[in-house]
Amino acid sequence: MRKRGLLSAVSFVFLSVGLLVRAPSELPGKWPRQGQSERPRFYALKVVSEKNVLNAKDSLSAPDGLFAKILQGGQLILFMENKLHSFPGLGRPGEGGSPADSGSVVGRGGADFSLEGWFVRQNMEGRQDYDWIPLGLSVSGFCLPLIDSFSLLPFDISAGTNMIRITNIGSKTLFVDAVIGYRKIIHNSS
């Protein structure tokens, strides 16, 4: 009975997070905001899978003004140059200590979309498996779920992810120029 209650709570958390992720009306963050410090970046390296996407390779590498077009119901899975990680405690100025973005999607259009990362989890038999987890969207980009929020779940968020899935759930074409990952800024103590 206790396991069933925990599974129901876990299901509720995932459904709630999924509904929040699917709500935006446009891509989060196109470029760093004025006065925002530059963080070291990396980009999508290759297309893993595409469905109802035109010019999928135009979403690779740094933003260049060329766009992959994800049609209604389309899906694009990209492999990143490096792993994306969550950055708890690195809050953006003026946003009350919220986690720093793990990355951003450069694009245009007003399409609704979902954004997910491919994470390791333990299955019922105790073996490693993988599953898609919704990523949190912010005004300036996206962030991986904080490790603390998933401590009771069988996912290893701390390992990060190097695969991103973008799904167009809207009725308009979604234009994606690039997916950017951010590295943690390491301050030298001199």
Asked whether residue 9 is assigned to any structural domain, the reply reads yes
Q: Would you state the pLDDT for residue 103? A: 92
Where in the sequence is the domain holding 177, given as residue range(s)? 2-182
188 within some domain: no
190 falls within a domain: no
Token output for 49: 């899978």
Asked if the structure places residue 187 within a domain, the reply is: no
Residue 137 maps to a domain:
yes
Amino acid letter, 51: K
What is the per-residue pLDDT for 31? 47
Residue among 120, 104, 88 nearest 36 (CA): 104
- At residue 123's C-alpha, the angle toward residues 169 and 102, to 5°, is 50
Q: Quick: pLDDT tens for 139-165.
A: 788 887 755 444 445 566 667 889 999
pLDDT at 8 over 50: no
Question: Token digits for 121?
Answer: 């989890």
pTM of the model as a whole: 0.72
Of the ranges 16-20, 126-130, 134-138, 167-171, which one carries the lowest mean pLDDT score? 16-20
Q: Compute the distance between CA of residue 98 and CA of residue 90 in angstroms, rounded to an integer.
A: 7
Which parts of 22-155 fold into alpha helices (H)? none
Number of domains composing the chain: 1
Q: Render pLDDT for 56-75 as a digit per residue (tens, 0 to 9).
A: 999 999 999 999 999 999 99
Long-range contacts of 32-35 (CB under 8 A, 24+ apart): 32/140, 33/140
Q: Is residue 34 part of a domain?
A: yes
For residue range 62-118, list pLDDT tens digits in order.
Answer: 999 999 999 999 999 999 999 988 776 544 433 445 567 889 999 987 668 999 999
Q: Is residue 45 part of a domain?
A: yes
